[in-house]
Structure 1
Amino acid sequence: MGSNEVFADTAARVSPGAMLQAAREARGLSPLDVSQRLNWLPEYVAFIERDEFQRLRRPAFARGYVRAYARMLGLDEIIVLAGYDEVAPAPAISSTRVSSRRPLPLQRTGLGILLGLGVLALLVLGLWWAQSGDTATGSLFGG
C-alpha cells in the first residue's frame, strides 16, 4: 500500500481539519506559521482544523481555504477536498432569482449629491450676484 493509498484511506475516516492539523504538526509548523505563510487571519487555521467552516469570514470561500492549506502542506488536494465536501454544509442555493431595475443605493445617493451641489451652487451664485449689485448701486434696493 503506497502513501497516497494510506492517505486516501485515512481521509475517508478523518475530517479534513484533522488531516490538515496532523500534516501541519508532522511538519513542525505552528498555526501561526501557517497563517503567516498563507497571509490569513490567525484564527482561520483554528477554524479549519476544527471543521468550523461557517465561522470563516467568507464561508463561500472555505473550499478554497482548505485547498490552499492542503497545497501548502503538500497534501493531495483532491482527497482533502473530498473530505471537506462530506463534512461541510452545502451552500444555500436560491431557486428564485430576484431581478430589479431600481438604481442601486449608491446611484441614488450620487444623484442626490449632484442635485444638492447644484442647489448650493445656485445659492452661492445668487448671493454673489446680490452682493456685487449691492456695491454697484450703493444699496441692495437702489435707495
Structure 2
Amino acid sequence: MSIGNSPQDERPSEQDRDDREEAARPSIGRALQQARIAAGLTVDDVSSATRVRIAIVHAIEQDDFAPCGGDVYARGHIRTLARAVHLDPEPLLAQFADARGGRPAPTPAAPLFEAERIRPERRGPNWTAAMVAAIVAVIGFVGFTLVNGGDEDGTQAQVAEGSTPTAGQPASPTPKKDKPTDPKPDPSDSAIAAAPRDKVTVQVSAADGRSWISAKDHNGRLLFDGLLKQGQSQTFQDNEEINLVLGDAGAIQLYVNGKKIEDEFQPGAVERLTYTKGDPEVG
C-alpha cells in the first residue's frame, strides 16, 4: 500500500480556480485601455467626451487611482470612462471593490472633482460700460447745474442791465421814456393832395360835431353807413363818382379830389351830394 495524496487532493480547489481566473482577467486600467483602442479612440477623445483630465485617464489606464482623490471619485471615473469606451461598468466596479477590500477608502476633506471643471475665462474690466456710465453721469451733472443755476443767472443779468441796487432798497429798472405821439394833422388840402386824377376821391371829416353819413359808389354799392364822431374822418374813392348823404351837413367838412369844398352847409341840414373826377362840383 503506497502512501500519497488521494485523487481528491490532486484536484484543484475552488480557491485555486478563482485565483487562476483572476490572474487571467485583465486589470481595470488594462480593460479600459483595450476597449478604448478597440473603439478607435485616443486619450484626448475620451478626455474631451468625459471631461476627465488627460493625466487622470493615463493614470487609471496604468491602474493608478491616486490622482482621482479617493475611492468614491475613482469609482465615478471608472464608470464614466467605461461608458465612453462602450464597456459595462459594473464588472469593473466590482473588481475595484474586491481590490479595495469591498469598502471604499475614505474621501479626503477637499477631494478633486470627478470631471475637470471648465473654469470660466477671466475677463478684464468692461471699459466700454464704465465710459458710458461716466458720460451719463457728466451729462446729468451738467443738466442739474444748468437747471439750478438758471434762476441765479437770470437775477444777475437783471441787476447788471438795470441800475445798481442800494442797501435796503430794491433794484428798480430804468424808466422808459414814452415816445412822443405824432399829432394827427388836421384835414387840409395836403391830406389828399396826391389823389389820382383818374379817380374821384372824397374825404368826409366831422370837424364841428358828429353826423350820420352814408357813402355809395357809382354802382350803388354801400361804402359806409354810420355815425362820425367829432374829429373822425372817412375817405372814399371810386372810378367814376361818389354819392353822399349827410345827416348834419353843418358839422361836416369835405375834401374832393384834393380840394376843400367851401359850401356853407346849415347845421342840422340833410344834404345829398354827388362828386365826380372833375373839379369839385355838387351834383
In the superposition, the TM-score normalised over structure 1's length comes to 0.51
Which residue among 102, 105, 113 is the counterpart of 1:91? 105
Q: Secondary structure at the match of 2:76?
A: helix
Q: 1:47 Cα shift?
A: 1.0
Q: 1:70 to 1:10 in 2, by over 3 A?
A: farther
Q: Which residue of 2 aligns with 1:43?
A: 55
Q: Which residue of 2 aligns with 1:20?
A: 32
Q: 2:74 corresponds to which letter in structure 1? A: A
Count, aligned residues: 85
CA contact (8 A) 2:36 2:42 kept: yes
Output aligned runs, 1:65-104, within 5 Å.
65-88=77-100, 90-92=104-106
Q: 1:31 to 1:41 in 2, by over 3 A?
A: same
CA contact (8 A) 2:43 2:58 kept: yes
Q: 1:69 to 1:10 in 2, by over 3 A?
A: farther
Question: Taking CA–CA contacts closer than 8 Å with sequence separation of 6 or more, which of the two structures ends up with the larger relative contact order?
Answer: 1
Q: Which residue of 1 aligns with 2:67?
A: 55
Q: Which residue of 1 aligns with 2:145?
A: none
Q: 1:91 corresponds to which letter in structure 2? A: A
CA contact (8 A) 2:71 2:106 kept: no
Q: 1:19 corresponds to which letter in structure 2? A: A
CA contact (8 A) 2:70 2:105 kept: no
Q: 1:58 to 1:17 in 2, by over 3 A?
A: same
Unaligned runs of 5+ residues in structure 2 are 1-20, 108-283
Q: Which residue of 2 aligns with 1:34?
A: 46
Instruction: Give the distance between the partners of 1:47 and 1:80, measured in 2 at CA.
Output: 16
Rg larger for: 2
Instruction: Give the distance between the partners of 1:57 and 1:11, measured in 2 at CA.
Output: 27
Q: 1:24 Cα shift?
A: 0.1
Instruction: Give the distance between the partners of 2:23 and 2:32, measured in 1 at CA.
Output: 10
Q: Deviations over 1:16-52 (max 9, x none)?
A: 1110000000111111110111012111111110111
Decide which structure has greater helix share. 1
CA contact (8 A) 2:70 2:106 kept: no
Q: Deviations over 1:57-87 (max 9, x none)?
A: 4553110110011112221111111122233
CA contact (8 A) 1:24 1:30 kept: yes
CA contact (8 A) 2:28 2:61 kept: yes
Q: Secondary structure at the match of 1:29?
A: coil
Decide which structure has greater strand share. 2
Q: 1:80 to 1:52 in 2, by over 3 A?
A: same
CA contact (8 A) 1:31 1:45 kept: yes
CA contact (8 A) 1:47 1:53 kept: yes
Q: 1:56 Cα shift?
A: 2.1
